[in-house]
Amino acid sequence: MTTSIRLFVCLGLLSLLFPSTVAAKAPSGPIQLFDGKTFHGWIAKGGGPVTKNWSIEDGMLALNGVGGSLVTVDEYGDFDLSFEWRLADHGNSGVKYRVNYYEKGVYGHPGWLGCEYQLFNDPKRTATTKYSTGALYDLYPPTADQKLRPAGEFNDSRIVAHGTKIEHWLNGVKVVSADMSSDEWKERIAASKFNDVKGFMQKPKGRIELQDHSSRVWFRNLALTPLDSSE
């Protein structure tokens, strides 16, 4: 018996003796995307280390200036993501998901793109638009019954991406529901800034992004539960 055959047989025996080894690695609950102490699992959007204007304050990810967006090292497909956030007065930010690189992005420029859960604080704006907090940015406005807390207070948000279905939640209320396989989705894409982005949001997996939009913003308790798209 040659060495290669012996190795093959040994590996086969191990798989019989320990059939649950791979299954044990599957997540049994939420994945904490931020450990409250380090930038482990996060990189700068361009692929380098986290810039100095991002910091960790009392267990929160904080952007104190213009520091560029953060993205997860790992990619995620179907998930239920919950997170808490707060903005300074007149702040603007967002959480993007299924983020991928497009050679020809918005207005023909290459870049990283994904759907965005809009975070925005403008006390003078009363009507909800495609750019209000909870919106699916530039595509779907949140429902009129959104319950946004005052600036300086933390809000609770959820993003559920399951196959072609997307939901945005704000403080316990579902404010957006979309289906990327629907005619309505196609119509909204055609009327948006993403109309010329070939294959926009057609990839099943991508990174999570915390957006830098030149505003002070804080994030904490980012927990992602993977979902099985076959369910």
* Cβ atoms of 82 and 179 closer than 8 Å: no
Give residue 152's pLDDT band: very low, low, confident or very high (50, 70, 90). Answer: confident
Is 4's pLDDT higher than 70?
no
Domain for residue 6, yes or no?
no
Give residue 172's pLDDT band: very low, low, confident or very high (50, 70, 90). Answer: very high
Domain limits at 144?
A: 28-226
* Cβ atoms of 83 and 204 closer than 8 Å: no
Is 127's pLDDT higher than 60?
yes
**202-223 pLDDT tens trace:** 999 999 999 998 889 999 999 9
Which amino acid is residue 56, in one-letter code? I
What pLDDT shows up at residue 126?
Answer: 65
Domain for residue 60, yes or no?
yes
What pLDDT shows up at residue 148?
Answer: 86
Is 136's pLDDT higher than 60?
yes
Radius of gyration of the chain from its Cα atoms, rounded to whole angstroms: 20
How many CB atoms within 10 Å of residue 45?
A: 19
Residues 6+ apart with CB under 8 A from 39: 50, 54, 56, 70
What pLDDT shows up at residue 72?
Answer: 97
Give residue 145's pLDDT band: very low, low, confident or very high (50, 70, 90). Answer: confident
**47-97 pLDDT tens trace:** 888 977 899 999 999 998 788 999 999 999 999 999 999 998 888 999 999
Domain for residue 18, yes or no?
no
Q: Any bridge partners for residue 81, and if so which?
A: 159, 224
Residues 6+ apart with CB under 8 A from 129: 135, 141
What pLDDT shows up at residue 123?
Answer: 67
* Cβ atoms of 45 and 68 closer than 8 Å: yes
What pLDDT shows up at residue 25?
Answer: 37
How many CB atoms within 10 Å of residue 32?
A: 12
Q: What are phi and psi of 103, to 5 degrees?
A: -60, -35
Domain for residue 200, yes or no?
yes
Share of the chain above pLDDT 70, in %: 85
How many structural domains is the chain composed of? 1
Helix (H, G, I), strand (E, B) or coil at 14: helix
Give residue 7's pLDDT band: very low, low, confident or very high (50, 70, 90). Answer: very low
Share of the chain above pLDDT 90, in %: 66
Domain for residue 23, yes or no?
no
Domain for residue 11, yes or no?
no
Q: What is the pTM of this model?
A: 0.84
Distance CA(33)–CA(221), nearest Å, equals 8
Domain for residue 22, yes or no?
no
CATH number of the domain residue 199 falls in:
2.60.120.560
* Cβ atoms of 42 and 56 closer than 8 Å: no
How many CB atoms within 10 Å of residue 12?
A: 10
**8-33 pLDDT tens trace:** 333 333 333 333 333 333 456 899 99
What pLDDT shows up at residue 73?
Answer: 96
Domain for residue 1, yes or no?
no
